[in-house]
Chain A
Amino acid sequence: MFKHLFKLIWNKKKQNSLLIVEILLSFMVLFAVFAFGINSYRNYVKPIGINYEHVWVINYNNSLKTQNSDSLTLFYEGLLRNIKAMPQVIDAGYSSSNVPFSTSHTNNTISANGKEVPSVNQFSGDINYINVLGAKMQAGRWYNKEDFASKQNITVINNALKEKIFGNTDAVGKYLNYGDDKTHSKTKIIGVLNDIKFNGDYQRAEVSMYNRLDTGAYHWLTSILVKVDPKADAAFESRLYKLMANALKNSNIELEHLPNKLVAYNKFTLVPLIVMSIVAAFLIINVALGIFGVLWYNINKRRGEIGLRRAIGASGNSVSSQLVAEALIVATFSLIIGAFFAVQFPLLNVFDLPASVYLLALALAILFIYILVLICSLYPGKQAAAIYPAVALHEE
């Protein structure tokens, strides 16, 4: 019977082509939504890598007249001491402006171990950085006071970058290079920091480097991270603000809370998923109506055939299951074509997502389409079963 139905559909491929294209299209959109969704979920369940609660960001700009590095160092070290001295402050430290959950990014190509890694995120933080953020070293150490004054080329990388370059082997003590020079590596890796999802809950931790701040850094630094007591309130916030404003006259001072920044960033990353889901929902409704309509139309056009089948030995149920089976076979045509396109994504590594994400999305999309087609064909199939053979045979 299967071969028979296949033949029937194959001979009618022209009539079925619109439906095949429609199912194919919604399959592709579903596949994209599922892949995106699964990937977001898999990122979501991974730890974020920092403790962002009660961490504030002070943004300022350097409004001091002096350009002397020693004076700058003296001033900003004093400022940080004053902030730390406030009773509600647990810890504080300087950071490059690309603090977690901010939209500013700095990238660089680096080379090491004979490999080149493009787009490595570049962060800078002082000796307090990981303590303020609650990040953890996985190997080696973070920077200390001596590093600040020294001239040696040292760096800290995150776990994702370590795995990309060194795999399972140790990275501490090895060297890397800025740029694409793979041979003369000069910068020594002193530590591996845990992965931090600085692009929010739904995006993975990207490969990253944490660079040493030196004595010249105060010329360009514009952010201070402050870990405050849970009891820190608005009154404290305004005192902190005043302290900054008094110290840095004519500077734009801005205070942000990392938890708020995370919420904002998450919204930003979820928008495409939501838009895609809405598009998919519309398409699916369209396809559902399409399948329903085509089957309905087919049944009315095929009343004679249905009557004949009843006459030569088909029961009402077998007529209805035949129509459902035909719809599923048509869907199978679409899914075969769709799957061919879908497997190109992991094969060509289009979006740098793990293959398992694509495969799971593929399986879900196929399942979804089959269930959709099944549901849409059940009712028309039932209607077909109810056709009176004597009447249907009489009509032509």
Chain B
Amino acid sequence: MISLQNIEKVYRTTNIETLALNNINLDIAKGEFLSIMGPSGCGKSTLLNIMGLLDAPSKGQIKIADQTTGNLSDKQLAKFRNQKLGFIFQSYHLINDLQVLDNVELPLLYRDTTAKERRQLASEALEKVGLSNRMKHFPTQLSGGQRQRVAIARAIVGRPEIILADEPTGNLDSAMGNEIMDILINLNKNDGTTIIMVTHDEHMAQKTHRLVRLFDGSQVL
């Protein structure tokens, strides 16, 4: 599903060069649930951003769903992200001025859909994460766990083949974290969604199929 070859990422600021990723080679199969662990600053988010086509590697090749992505235009990349990928972030990134339902509909706005279809798909996604009764709420009226469930609903509303989650439980207590984890596991099991998750929590990582460890930009496991 995802294939990374010799990925290297160098950040250059005026007088410092950071080698954030060093020669990463990784193949992720369709339907796999992969977790990435490592100390802070080791390049986990950088790797996820590169897999999510939000950032380009300094060197190396990425293939997603049999598509080489190196020379896609900004517009093509945007379309690709919209159709193949779903994102979940530690800080949710919900738009506080929009109701839950409108937040979940967001990815569909960048597709050819009717208002009715959007409503339908967003309600279904919210049902999956158990938030059908919060559709008219604003994000600020929800708990952290509920917000992350909204973010998951938003990530899955467009039925992507791949979900990229950067510390989805990082801001939550363990009970809420487990709830989120269960939703992700179900998505992987029932819908066959490929999931790549960055986590600091060994316990969460144990629940996934495979664990990749990074240290100082290099893959150590």
Contact = CB atoms under 8 A, between A and B. Distances in A.
Interface string B46-81: 100100101100000000000000000011011101
B155 to A, nearest CB: 8
21 contacts: A3-B115, A8-B97, A8-B98, A11-B97, A11-B98, A12-B97, A304-B91, A308-B106, A309-B106, A311-B81, A312-B82, A312-B158, A313-B82, A313-B83, A313-B110, A315-B74, A315-B77, A315-B78, A317-B75, A389-B54, A390-B54
Nearest to B93: A308
Contacts of A314: 78, 110
B87 interface: yes
A7 B78 CA distance: 23
A314 B82 CA distance: 8
Contact of B81 (A4, A7, A313): A313
Interface residues of B, number: 31
Contacts of B81: 310-313
Contacts of A388: 55
A358 B113 CA distance: 42
B29 interface: no
B136 to A, nearest CB: 12
Nearest to A311: B87
A240 interface: no
A304 B96 CA distance: 11
Interface of A: 1, 3-4, 7-8, 11-12, 304-305, 307-318, 388-390, 393-394, 396
B45 to A, nearest CB: 6
Contacts of A311: 52, 54, 81, 87
Contact of A312 (B49, B75, B87): B87
Contact of A393 (B77, B93, B102, B111): B93
A394 B49 CA distance: 10
Given A312-B87, A312-B107, A313-B111, A4 B78 contact: no
A316 B74 contact: yes
Interface in B10-63: 45-46, 49, 52, 54-55
A264 to B, nearest CB: 58
